[in-house]
Amino acid sequence: MLGIAQPSASSLIANLEHALGFKLFDRVKGRLVATPEAKFLMPDVQRTLESVELTKHRARQIRDNRRGDLVIVSYPDLAIDFLPEVLSAFLADRPAVRVHLQARRSEMMTGLLQTHDFDLAISTRLAETHSLDVQEFAIPCMIAYQRGQAPPGRLALEPMDLQSETLICVSANHPSTIQLAERFDQRGVAFPGTAIETQTFESVCGFVRRGVGVGLIDAITARRYRHELDILRFVPEVWQTIYLLRPLDRPTSRITNTFTDGLARRIRALAERDGAAAP
Task: Quick: pLDDT tens for 173-190.
Answer: 999 999 999 999 999 999
What confidence score (pLDDT) does residue 76 get? 94
Share of residues in the chain with pLDDT > 90 (%)? 59
User: In CATH terms, are 67-137+241-274 and 139-240 the same topology?
Assistant: yes
Is pLDDT above 70 for 204? Answer: yes
Whole-prediction pTM? 0.75
Q: How confident is the model at residue 225 (pLDDT cuts 50, 70, 90)?
A: very high
What confidence score (pLDDT) does residue 20 get? 79
What confidence score (pLDDT) does residue 279 get? 40
Those residues whose C-beta lies under 8 Å from the C-beta of residue 85, and which sit 6 or more positions away, are none
Instruction: Kindly state the helix (H) or strand (E) to which residue 26 belongs, with its residue range.
Output: strand 25-28
Instruction: Tell me the domain boundaries of the chain.
Output: 6-63, 67-137+241-274, 139-240
Q: Which of 262, 243, 268, 239 is nearest to 133 (CA)?
A: 243
Give the separation between CA 109 and CA 103, rounded to whole angstroms: 10
Q: Which of 172, 199, 189 is nearest to 236 (CA)?
A: 189
Those residues whose C-beta lies under 8 Å from the C-beta of residue 158, and which sit 6 or more positions away, are 187, 234, 235
Task: Quick: pLDDT tens for 236-266.
Answer: 999 999 999 999 888 888 899 999 999 999 9
Of 16-20, 98-102, 165-169, the range with the lowest mean pLDDT is 16-20
Is pLDDT above 90 for 56? Answer: no
What confidence score (pLDDT) does residue 28 get? 81
Is pLDDT above 50 for 278? Answer: no
Is pLDDT above 50 for 212? Answer: yes
Instruction: Kindly state the helix (H) or strand (E) to which residue 278 belongs, with its residue range.
Output: none
67-137+241-274, CATH topology level: D-Maltodextrin-Binding Protein; domain 2 (3.40.190)
Higher-pLDDT residue of 66 and 260 is 260
What's the CATH number for 139-240? 3.40.190.290
6-63, CATH topology level: Arc Repressor Mutant, subunit A (1.10.10)
Instruction: Count Cβ atoms within 10 A of the Cβ of residue 220 and give its class: 0-12 exposed, 13-18 middle, 19 or more buried.
Output: buried
What confidence score (pLDDT) does residue 9 get? 66
